[in-house]
Structure 1
């Protein structure tokens, strides 16, 4: 009898739980970006995480991001976008773009966070980063060649333009389809960020 009552209680509560999970609006869960920023692939719903490797909050969000990415829907495209809100952020942003250009971003991304926040490695200079990249089969000469390349500097400029367009003032931040900005503050914590993101993805699906 107790099992039956418990089961009926769960069935009764499901509609309310579902309604609560969907109860997000501008200012409650996310912020609407005043002027939408054009996405790269119009056939996909774009999700962008703005981050900095030195940010402890970004590091804390990383496990949630990686878990969410494993179940990435076919109509969604996810990207990382390094921010440069301070002088000491630049080296990390350049390192990300180098890794992306060399096709090793997936291998190095979480390791960079762990090296900085767990192993307490500084990785704040070109020399430190060049040595770090050798662990992934990249020679120091190749790293230095890419580090100050036109391609990396162009990506830095494009990223800065997008982040300004998003109206982001800090990290981490998740942007959905160039229209909505989700942060731990708007979502009520890191553990709820991707619930809001999923809600906004569905909102964009319905809009199509």
Structure 2
């Protein structure tokens, strides 16, 4: 074979191989080990015929803040297919007021109304929720009964939920966030989705990609 022809053939084969890599790794047809991982020990779910979806997140996390609008729209689109839950990850004493704030809003049935407001307070207004008093002041400023909120916030039940987070993070192998677990077994994230995308994909593209991965994993779980 002539050297030039051999070179052209090698180049074409290389392009074909590279193209097949991205064809195989796709958010709409995710592959284990690329766009998602399977937990070595599946965790129990209590959602009946609906698929459990858990997001591990933190209020202080800018990536979680950026992911929130797309995730909220995805949850609405899934409707009765899923039961959606959130876990606010731990991060030492400085994060505990944010955890307690999250679990208190959830316990009082106020999370849908105030979840985005908490994010905005942190990332737009730059209030850190560094201590309990800052949290109480924020609650009162936003029309929540301060005394009632403080009572729930300081309750044994909220403390128990905060203490349980570390064991949940261990069980689900949570090392970064936002991270999503589907059906107690499939783990994915924008970072996972980015592994199946061309190099240089933006965070926004990875976030859109993981929502497609999540669609596929919910369908996979329902099929089982």
On whether the aligned pair clears a TM of 0.5, the verdict is yes
Unaligned runs of 5+ in 2: 1-22, 195-205
Q: Aligned to 1:121, what secondary structure does the other structure show?
A: coil
Pick which of 153-162 and 101-110 moved more.
153-162
Deviations along 1:75-103, whole A, 9 cap, x unmatched?
A: 21111111103332211111011001111
Contact 1:49–1:174 (Cα < 8 Å) also in 2: yes
Counting only pairs closer than 5 Å after superposition, residues 35-54 of structure 1 correspond to structure 2 as: 35-54=41-60
Shift of 1:20: 4.4
Q: Secondary structure at the match of 1:160?
A: helix
Matched, 1:125 2:131: yes
For residues 171 and 186 of structure 1, the distance between their equivalents in structure 2, rounded to whole angstroms, comes to: 11
* 1:202 paired to 2:219: yes
Task: Tell me the TM-score normalized by structure 2.
Answer: 0.79
Aligned to 2:100: 94
CA distances 1:39-78 after superposition (whole Å, capped 9, x unpaired): 1323320111111000011011011111112212312111
Instruction: Give the match for residue 109 of structure 2.
Output: 103
Q: Distance in 2 between matches of 1:92 and 1:129?
A: 8
Structure 1 residue 163: deviation in Å?
Answer: 2.0
**Residue number among 154, 161, 178 corresponding to 1:155 in the alignment:** 161
Query: Over aligned residues, Cα RMSD in angstroms?
Result: 1.9
Deviation at 1:21, TM superposition (A): 4.5
Are 1:30 and 2:36 an aligned pair? yes
**Could you say what secondary structure the match of 1:74 adopts?**
helix
For residues 34 and 58 of structure 1, the distance between their equivalents in structure 2, rounded to whole angstroms, comes to 25
Q: Which runs of 4+ in 1 moved over 4 A?
A: none
Deviation by residue 1:110-148 (Cα, 9 ceiling, x = unmatched) = 111111101111222111111111244322222221222
In the comparison of the two structures, how many residue pairs are matched?
A: 191
More deviation in 43-52 or 149-158?
A: 149-158
SS of residue paired to 1:34: coil
Please say if 1:192 is aligned against 2:198.
no
Q: CA 1:104–1:154 in 2, change beyond 3 Å: closer, same or farther?
A: same
Q: Choose the corresponding residue for 1:56, options 40, 54, 62.
A: 62
Q: Which residue of 1 aligns with 2:140?
A: 134
Given that residues 29 and 216 in structure 2 are in contact (C-alpha distance below 8 angstroms), is that contact kept between their aligned partners in structure 1? no
SS of 2:83's partner is strand
TM-score normalised to the size of structure 1?
Answer: 0.85
CA–CA distance in structure 1, aligned partners of residues 79 and 85 of structure 2: 14
